Every structure is written in structure tokens, then in C-alpha cells.
Amino acid sequence: MLFSWRMLSVNHQKIPSLHINNICCCKRRASFNRLKPHILLGRNYSSLPGVRGKDIKSLHSIISPPIAKIRNIGIMAHIDAGKTTTTERILYYSGYTRSLGDVDDGDTVTDFMAQERERGITIQSAAVTFDWKGHRVNLIDTPGHVDFTLEVERCLRVLDGAVAVFDASAGVEAQTLTVWRQADKHNIPRICFLNKMDKTGASFTYSVESIREKLKAKPLLLQLPIGEAKTFKGLVDVVSKEKLLWNPNSDDGKDFERKPLLAMSDPELLKKTTEARNALIEQVADLDDEFADLVLGEFSENFDLLPAEKLQTAIHRVTVAQTAVPVLCGSALKNKGIQPLLDAITMYLPSPEERSYEFLQWYKDDLCALAFKVLHDKQRGPLVFMRIYSGTIKPQLAIHNINGNCTERLSRLLLPFADQHIEISSLTAGNIALTVGLKHTATGDTIVSSKSSALAAACRAEREGEKKHRHSHEAQRLVLAGVEIPEPVFFCTIEPPSVAKQPDLDHALKCLQREDPSLKVKLDPDSGQTILCGMGELHIEIIHDRIKREYGLETYLGPLQVAYRETILNAVRATDTLDRTLGDKRHLVTVELEASPMETSSVRPVIEYAENLSEELLKISQEAIENGIHGACLQGPLLGSPVQDVTITLHSLIVHPGTSTTMISACVSRCVQKALKKADKQVLEPLMHLEVTVSSDYLSPVLADLAQRRGNVQEIQTRQDNRVVTGFVPLAEMMGYSTVLRTLTSGSATFALELSNYQAMNPQDQRMLLNRRSGLA
């Protein structure tokens, strides 16, 4: 990472500023003492400690705020709803950037990777820290593309609140539903921002209705737009009954006026706002008992007398309780509505102390942090993003990783600002930090101050679990909070340019896997080739591009393959004996087991043991048996794909004294494979949930094309002037669909794909697939 002085002229004054080059494209290292001036190129962010420009803030001014003044929030939405543009405007108005970046120009703060700037999409989440009216806000801009769902998942895991951004012309879209479900899973309070109110076809009423119907949420209308589409010029604050109008001649949206609504000048707007405010008060009173008592007691005769502060406090309680979601509107691209959104973030979303985490009580005031993201920097090595839940973290601190069961020392502590960082001396609970020097920490690892601290926390959890009649392993699970990693659906081979470059490729893939746990790498046992497994075509394409740019390797990708699964249709018994003599030792194992299909879906095989098996023998060899079964189920007999939805029942196990556990594992594995081969087999293929948004003119060719792809259309909805087709299509039929859809609709349609489940292939399609794989077709 390069620290360099940049000379910047502001009002004919030279001000040094701190700039750190891209995490992903680091060029060289220089010590802080040997800094040399360079000519300023590109964007400018925060100033050096102690040196502040007239119009830009220093991150050092907000290093240690009280916990009540901290907000950890994420921006989440469907693709192209305007997340990154909204983030860019937030940074500009809060005083941390000098100019407004644009996604189309490729100069935004949070989209700093070369691939992000070229494609105009967010690929990996980026953290930025800023302050607004005395509050420290740690904001994370997340991707909207389904291939990068894990990025959203692991960020939501550590956030206290979220802003859901909607395209006001489309309302709730496919990926909006996905990220909303993820936020529900982690109990994240949300506020909704209806973006693109200036876009043709924008409808405030339609968007609010789609939130109510599709997300099953209760929207609280805190703002009303003044005009829609081309006539959008401002908004009304329902809570304070004021109108906010932006100066049409202002280039950056900083210039706007806030005026109280008067019966003389705006009779219609005042009437509409009063009705909306009364409806809002009634809605909040229904959800909050304390507010209901206040309204019925003092202000039952006239709601107009109710102070805005009392209503805002009640809205905050309702938002934190997740019984309703505040709704705001604006246009990030046209610089309207962002400042009120920032006010709402600090006013309605919770601080870390308002969120309850059950596992925290076991740690008391000791350090407890969660590593939720890892980046690799060529000079500094792994950079680990951490959310601190309790205690304090400092540089040169020795910490214990519970998941990896290892102790490491972090060398430096940084405050993140997209691809730039400010070094700090300590950080307290509630914050998000970036640490340098942790070589073994991965995504989802729990970090504590020491091994004894972890053991003490586990003991407290166990004691509490016994009081509540819980199992001790459940208490242990509370200590180890992690991130669920989805199974990949695509795979392909990857080859280095030469055999000599194989170690370099292995190193690159190892680094990328730590950064992105949804990327899986395995070795084909037959061909010895490296197999790359990912979440989609775009995901694998981005990985390939990153290997080329960041590691300088021209790799070759094989054809993209679909990750099929296999299962069995009937129960089969098998017996196997392994008899080997190694040196002067004889290893003899006889196994009898049964493989049977399961009614419920399970990716891993369910293992059962017959009652007549010796408990003592099981105690010694259970781990070896389970390793053998899991190993055998990784490669099915038809395609070599993982086997799922099976139950393996061990009926008999005879082990000669002195037989090694490796031999037991090998015998069990061979016996399971024998049983799977004898059974009637079935290939399962990934079935995708598809949503296509297309104009009425092109609906027929799109439906005809889906029918050819074995698609099953569920419904066709009307969204403004467009039609939204939802249905299910096998993933194998969706290769290159984006190009075909663009051709069919002259580039006007969009689509979103998401894995639904694995379904059985029909016999004809299965036969064709097997013939194709064996080279007969």
C-alpha cells in the first residue's frame, strides 16, 4: 500500500492530503519518512491528521465517539437501484469528498476495483466512515448482483441497521426480496429510500404499495414527493410539515431551502400533508403503546399540537423493534433528498447499544469481535475487517481466534475509507475496524483477547444453558457466530500458462478464497486439473479477470459446467472386506451398511448406527466411519457429482485388533460407493427462480424462448408499462441468456436469477446429459 503526499490547491492554498492507492492494485511500498510530493491525480479524500482543508473533513475528528453516537449501516438493493450513487452523495454532503463521483464515469469512492469501474457494478462491499451532525456512521455499500449474495450476507451479519434503496419506477424487484429476507434473518432494522423519483415512470404510490404487498412490511410515510418523474423538484417532511425545495440552478444539491407549509401559499399540499401526518400518528400509535398513551392523553383533540420530537422518538422505537419501516424519497443522481436521508439514518436507526446480542453476556467487558471480510494487499498481506462487539482493540495486541484455535498478533489498526485507511491507536465496542497482521483469520471467525477468555465465556454459557435446560453444544454455538456460505452452482477447469506457474496460481486462488468464501477450489482426482467452483457466470469471469490483473497470470478457463447433484431412488445393502498387511501388521475390516433415499432434502448424508453395534468400538472408530461416508458421497457413480438426500445406516462393523482408523475409513468409503452403484440413480439439476422485466411489445418472443429452455412460467405481472415474468428454469438452459435476451428485446429487457432448489431431471434429459458427458452425443 502506497502512502504518498499529494499537493492540492484549495483557494490558492497548498494542503497536503493522505492518499492510499487501491487495495487491489497496489504498486509499491514507501516508508512514511521518505514521502515525496507528486502531482495530484484522481480523487481526494481525507486530510492528514492535524491538517484540514476549508471544505473537507479529517477522519481523525471522529475516531472515538460515544457508542450512542455510532451507526453501523449498510446500503442494500436490487441491481441498478442506485446504491453506489446514494453512497457517493452521502460522502459528498457529509464533507468527505470534494467532488461528486459517478458510476458511469467510474470514479466513485466505494467502487474502487478496476472491474467495478469498467462494468459499473458493485462486486465487493466497501466500508466508509464519516460523521453527520455529531454521529459517527460506518457505512457499507453492498453488491446487488445475485452472484455476490454472500457479500451482502456477511456484511448484514455485522450491521445494526440498513437502508433499502428502491428504484421508484420499479418498486420491489427480485434481488430486493433476497436482501430483505437476509435482513429479516439477521433482525436488521431498516429504512426505505425510494430513489430515482425523477425517472420516467416513477410512482411513489406504486412503490409504497409494492413494499406493503411483496415485502409484507408496514411502511411509515415520513415524506411525500413534490412532483414525480420530470416534475420532481422536492419533497415534504410529513413529521415537521415542512417542504424542502432544491435550487434548480445548484450543481451539487447542497443548496436547498426548508419552509413551513402555509395555508396561504400551499393549501392543497398542506391538506395532503396534514392527512398523511394524522395517518402516520395513528399508525405509530397502533404499534407503540407508550406513544399511544401520549396521543390519547394529551393530544387526542388535535394531532397538530403533537411535537415533532415526540413523533420522531416513537418512530425510532418502532423502527428498532422492526414492526414498521420508515419510507423516504429522492433522487441521488439529481442530488435531491440525501441530506434528509442522512438525518433519518442518525435519528431512526439504532446505535450498537440498542441491539441485543445474546452471546455478548458471556464475554462481559472482554474483547469479542467478528472477522467478516478479508482482503489481500501485496505489501501488507491480509487485511481483516472486524466488527467489535465488546472490549477494546489496539495495535500490537495478541488475540485468540476461536474458530482456528490459534493466537495471532495484529500489527496495525486502521479506520476504513473504501480503498484508503487512516491509522489509529485504539477502537472500542460498536465500531468496524481494519486490522493488519492476522495471517490465519478468515471470514466468520470469532476473535477474543485470549484462550482463557474464550474458555471463561464458554463456561458461563454452559452454566446458563444448564439453568435453562439447554444442551452445552447450543451454548457453545452462541460463542461461535459465523456466516453461512452457499454452495456453488457453476464450475470450470482453470489452467496456468505453464507448469512452472502452477504454484503462483495456487497462491492466487488461496488468497482469493480467503477473500471470497463462496469461491471453492478443488483438484480433479482423475485428471489432476484445478476446478474452480462459483456462484455464477459473472462470478467466475470476475475471478479470472482478477487473477490476470492482480497476480499477472494469463490463465485458461475450460467450458463452464453446471454443478449437478446425484441421489438414489431405492434402498440397497452392501458388504465389503478390506484385508491388507503392511509390514508385520495385518489390517482387517468388514463392513455391512445400507444406503437409502431420504424424504427431506439434505446436502450431507445422514448417518445412522444399528443398535447391535458395540459402543466401545464406535467410540474409537466413529470419526473414521463418518469421514469415509462423507468422502464417498463427494463423488457419485453417474457424473462424479456430490450425492445428497441419502441416509447411510451402518449394520455391522468387524475390526481386527491393531487395524488403523485409515483402513476403517477406506473400507467404509468403498462399501458406500458399492451400495450407490447398485442402487437406482437419479441426477438432480439446479433449478433457478427467474424474473424477466420486459415491455409488452417483446413479451411473446421472451415467453417462446423460455418454453424452449424448459421454463415453467408461474405468473406475469404488470409493473407500470412493463410486464414482469416470473418462473423456474433449469440452470443448464440459462447459459448465455443475457445475450439472447438483449437480442430478442433490442436491449430493453432485464432479468434476475436466483437458485431455488435442486430437482430431479426427467429420464430423457438425464440420458442425453450422460451421453454428452461420456462423449456419445
Cα(151)–Cα(518) distance, integer angstroms: 9
259 is in an annotated binding site: no
Cα(323)–Cα(292) distance, integer angstroms: 15
CB–CB of 140/127 below 8 Å?
A: yes
> Among 676, 657, 653, which Cα is nearest to 665's?
653
544 is in an annotated binding site: no
Cα(83)–Cα(593) distance, integer angstroms: 54
CB–CB of 636/681 below 8 Å?
A: yes
Give 551's contacts (C-beta < 8 A, 6+ positions apart): 504, 505, 507, 508
| Residue 228 bridge partners (DSSP) | none
Cα(60)–Cα(46) distance, integer angstroms: 9
Q: Where are the beta strands (DSSP E) in 461-571?
A: 490-495, 520-523, 530-534, 556-557, 561-562, 565-568
198 is in an annotated binding site: yes
243 is in an annotated binding site: no
- Residue 738 CB-density burial (10 A; 0-12 exposed, 13-18 middle, 19+ buried): middle
Q: In which residue are the cell numbers 493488519 written?
A: 436
267 is in an annotated binding site: no
337 is in an annotated binding site: no
Element (H, E) at 729: strand 722-730
Secondary structure letter of residue 171 according to DSSP: B
CB–CB of 756/688 below 8 Å?
A: yes
Q: Is beta strand 712-719 parallel, antiparallel or unpaired with respect to 722-730?
A: antiparallel
Element (H, E) at 14: strand 13-20
Cell reading at 258: 426548508
| Residue 427 bridge partners (DSSP) | 393
* Residues making up the chain, counted from first to last: 777
Give 470's contacts (C-beta < 8 A, 6+ positions apart): 464
Cell reading at 695: 415491455
84 is in an annotated binding site: yes
Give 680's contacts (C-beta < 8 A, 6+ positions apart): 568, 569, 570
471 is in an annotated binding site: no
285 is in an annotated binding site: no
The residue type at 734: M
142 is in an annotated binding site: yes
CB–CB of 47/58 below 8 Å?
A: yes
Q: Helices in 49-113 by DSSP H: which ranges?
A: 83-93
CB–CB of 238/271 below 8 Å?
A: no
Q: Report the b/e string of 698-729 with b at 16+ CB within 10 A.
A: bbeebbebbeeebbebeeeeebeebbbbebbb
79 is in an annotated binding site: yes
558 is in an annotated binding site: no
Cα(708)–Cα(715) distance, integer angstroms: 17
Secondary structure letter of residue 331 according to DSSP: B
Give 298's contacts (C-beta < 8 A, 6+ positions apart): 305
Give 120's contacts (C-beta < 8 A, 6+ positions apart): 103, 104, 106, 111
* CA dihedral sign of residues 429, 434, 437, 441: positive
CB–CB of 457/402 below 8 Å?
A: no
16 is in an annotated binding site: no
195 is in an annotated binding site: yes
User: Interior CA angle at 20 toward 16 and 24, to 5°?
Assistant: 165
* 3-state secondary structure string across 269-299: HHHHHHHHHHHHHHHHHHHCHHHHHHHHHHC
CB–CB of 192/328 below 8 Å?
A: yes
Cα(726)–Cα(713) distance, integer angstroms: 6
145 is in an annotated binding site: yes
* Coil vs helix vs strand at 324: coil
Cell reading at 556: 485458461
Binding residues for GTP: 77-84, 141-145, 195-198
Binding residues: 77-84, 141-145, 195-198
